């Protein structure tokens, strides 16, 4: 029976490719890689983090054709493609051959078989400088090289570069969170400096996001910092929150806080909340989709005077936002690393006058917009 008689399905297409495109074993691929072939791991970043052949180029399937065009100038170079079990690499090879690459070979059995053959893998893409910088953190068993890579690949949106955002962003940058997106519409004023420790006399008058960016890149030049000198509002909130892993809420007004809360709920992003006033502060994590807990609106169903953080009118002891912002950074790192129990369903309150921390439960409000009954 000829191939023509076989109905066209994904499987028949795959079988056709298996017949047409010669594949090579992982052992032969490793040998040719030592000669002059280029081995490309076409899986996704979350798969690379668990391990990838030593020395492989890592280009995910969706970017392969466009990236190769820039990377490989010699069309005669031998290209070896590896995926998880040998299917994606076949389709990738088919595509590259159609473009005109002649010597393209998928690796049979993919990375799964590569490991079974005992061939060399590496779990990280940390540079020697990064490995040195984060060595004390990598040594912690629950973090290790894999956890540090998770931080490197993480994106955190920091809303506000004031008293809370300053210490939080500094610790996130120091810990190696790979991409910080800062948004704030204000400029640095001398009256900020008593608590907003990311800014300085030398940056008075600058956009706060620019002043903060300068500080963070001096501290850690290996990370990316994007600064947005705008308010967070209806025009940008969803896109920015959709594009990050965690939102660190260091804002100073209810309107923005409700906006952050609503977008985080809609897009299932963890909302790390902090607020300060005079001599006390509080912190919590709202993550309704994951933890069955409530949202910021459950805690403050409508704008209540006295919640937080208008330091300009109420005043605040400068170190209090330092304590709360640092706790927010801690919760953010825990979420990114999957460590411990985040402060979901709980409100941690700090009273500087007595030196006491108190944790109370937050009940999800069944009447709130976040309730599954709604």
Specify the residue, 294 or 325, whose C-beta has the smaller distance to Zn ion: 294
DSSP SS3 for 238:
helix
Active site residue 311: yes
- What is the spatial distance between Cα 161 and Cα 200, in angstroms, rounded to a whole number? 13
The distance of closest approach from Cβ of residue 77 to Zn ion in the complex, given in angstroms and rounded to an integer, is: 56
Specify the residue, 108 or 286, whose C-beta has the smaller distance to Zn ion: 286
- What is the spatial distance between Cα 97 and Cα 81, in angstroms, rounded to a whole number? 12
- What is the spatial distance between Cα 40 and Cα 96, in angstroms, rounded to a whole number? 12
- What is the spatial distance between Cα 248 and Cα 270, in angstroms, rounded to a whole number? 9
- What is the spatial distance between Cα 282 and Cα 273, in angstroms, rounded to a whole number? 8
Determine which one of 263, 311, 368, 370 is catalytic. Answer: 311
Q: What are phi and psi of 361, to 5 degrees?
A: -80, 145
The distance of closest approach from Cβ of residue 346 to Zn ion in the complex, given in angstroms and rounded to an integer, is: 15
Specify the residue, 69 or 367, whose C-beta has the smaller distance to Zn ion: 367
- What is the spatial distance between Cα 13 and Cα 348, in angstroms, rounded to a whole number? 57
Which positions ≥6 away from 62 have C-beta within 8 Å?
none
Please say whether the beta carbons of 34 and 120 come within 8 A. no
The distance of closest approach from Cβ of residue 36 to Zn ion in the complex, given in angstroms and rounded to an integer, is: 59
Q: Does 175 bind Zn ion (CB under 5 A)?
A: no
Please say whether the beta carbons of 92 and 42 come within 8 A. yes
The distance of closest approach from Cβ of residue 265 to Zn ion in the complex, given in angstroms and rounded to an integer, is: 7
Q: How many helices (H) and strands (E) does the chain have?
A: 17, 14
Stretch that binds Zn ion, among 136-144, 219-227, 317-325, 366-374 (CB under 5 A): 366-374
The residues in 285-344 that bind Zn ion, with binding defined as CB under 5 A, are 294-295, 297-298
- What sign does the dihedral 263-232-199-134 (CA atoms) show? positive
The distance of closest approach from Cβ of residue 47 to Zn ion in the complex, given in angstroms and rounded to an integer, is: 35
Please state the separation of Cα 53 from the chain's center in Å: 24
Place of tokens 């065009």: 69
Q: What are the CA-CA distances from residue 206 to residues 123, 188, 221 (Å)?
A: 41, 6, 20
Please say whether the beta carbons of 83 and 89 come within 8 A. yes
- What is the spatial distance between Cα 290 and Cα 269, in angstroms, rounded to a whole number? 9
Q: Does 368 bind Zn ion (CB under 5 A)?
A: yes
The distance of closest approach from Cβ of residue 234 to Zn ion in the complex, given in angstroms and rounded to an integer, is: 19
The distance of closest approach from Cβ of residue 367 to Zn ion in the complex, given in angstroms and rounded to an integer, is: 9
- Count Cβ atoms within 10 A of the Cβ of residue 213 and give its class: 0-12 exposed, 13-18 middle, 19 or more buried: buried
Q: Does 257 bind Zn ion (CB under 5 A)?
A: no
User: Residue count at the site for Zn ion (CB under 5 A)?
Assistant: 6
Interface positions with Zn ion (CB under 5 A): 294-295, 297-298, 368, 370
Return the active site residues. 311
């Amino acid at each position: 029976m000829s191939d023509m008689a076989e109905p066209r399905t994904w499987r028949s297409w795959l079988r056709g490719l298996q017949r047409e495109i010669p594949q090579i074993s992982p052992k032969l691929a490793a040998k040719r890689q030592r000669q002059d072939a280029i081995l490309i791991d076409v899986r996704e970043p979350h798969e690379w983090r668990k391990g990838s052949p030593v020395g492989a180029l890592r280009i995910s399937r969706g970017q392969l054709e466009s990236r190769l065009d820039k990377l490989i100038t010699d069309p005669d170079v031998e290209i070896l493609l590896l995926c998880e079990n040998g299917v994606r690499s076949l389709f990738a090879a088919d595509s590259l051959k159609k473009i005109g690459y002649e010597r393209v070979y998928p690796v049979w059995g993919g990375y799964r078989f590569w490991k079974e053959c005992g061939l060399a893998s590496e779990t990280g893409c940390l540079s020697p400088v990064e490995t040195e910088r984060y060595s004390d953190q990598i040594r912690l068993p629950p973090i290790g090289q894999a956890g540090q890579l998770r931080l490197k690949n993480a994106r955190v949106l920091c809303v506000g570069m004031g008293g809370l955002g300053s210490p939080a962003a500094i610790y996130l940058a120091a810990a190696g969170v790979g991409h910080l997106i800062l948004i704030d519409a204000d400029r640095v004023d001398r009256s900020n400096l008593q608590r907003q420790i990311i800014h300085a006399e030398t940056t008075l008058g600058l956009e706060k996001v620019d002043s903060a960016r300068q500080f963070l890149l001096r501290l850690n030049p290996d990370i990316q910092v994007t600064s947005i000198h705008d308010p967070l509002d209806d025009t940008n909130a969803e896109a920015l929150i959709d594009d990050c892993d965690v939102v660190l809420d260091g804002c100073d007004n209810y309107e923005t806080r409700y906006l952050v809360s609503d977008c985080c709920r809609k897009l299932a992003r963890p909302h790390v909340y902090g607020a300060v006033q005079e001599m006390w502060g509080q912190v919590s994590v709202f993550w309704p989709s994951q933890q069955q807990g409530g949202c910021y609106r459950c805690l403050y169903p409508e704008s209540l005077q006295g919640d937080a953080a208008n330091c300009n009118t109420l005043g605040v002891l400068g170190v209090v936002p330092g304590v709360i912002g640092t706790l927010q950074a801690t919760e953010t790192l825990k979420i990114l690393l999957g460590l411990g129990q985040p402060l979901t369903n709980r409100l941690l309150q700090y009273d500087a006058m007595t030196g006491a921390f108190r944790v109370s439960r937050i009940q999800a409000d069944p009447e709130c917009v976040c309730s599954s009954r709604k």
